[in-house]
Amino acid sequence: MSSRKARFYCTFCRRDDRQVEKLIGGPGVYICDACVAACNGILEGGRPPDFAGFQTLDDDALLATLRPSLTVVEQVRELLQQHVDLLRSRGVSWERIGQALGTSRQAAWERFS
């Protein structure tokens, strides 16, 4: 059994919890102190920081984004499963869940049961 602590990543900049001073968690998302500061600047009338796009990253930098991205996807997937489980425990039908997800009852059942 590993004693390693699970890594959490800022949903916006993808820096992990060792690279930032603070990381604030919400339902399936995280935001670091640097991104909060950027958001505060935007709310005060500033411009958002420029982002040249992922196509400008070299192979190593782009490869470094994969694990944080996968972690975020898995965290959101887990949150979605929790929502479906809660709805089912309340007696909500697969039909209604499928409609809310934009899929069929059968597809919702196959994915989340």
Average confidence (pLDDT) per 10 residues, the chain, 113 residues = 67 87 88 92 86 83 87 88 97 98 97 95
pLDDT of res. 14: 82
pLDDT of res. 2: 47
Q: Are residues 3 and 47 in the same domain?
A: yes
Q: Are residues 67 and 25 in the same domain?
A: no
Q: Are residues 83 and 37 in the same domain?
A: no
Residue 13: which domain range?
1-51
Burial of 2 (0-12, 13-18, 19+ CB in 10 A): exposed
Q: Are residues 69 and 108 in the same domain?
A: yes
pLDDT of res. 65: 85
For the whole model, what pTM was predicted? 0.61
Q: Are residues 46 and 67 in the same domain?
A: no
Structural domains counted in the chain: 2
pLDDT of res. 4: 56
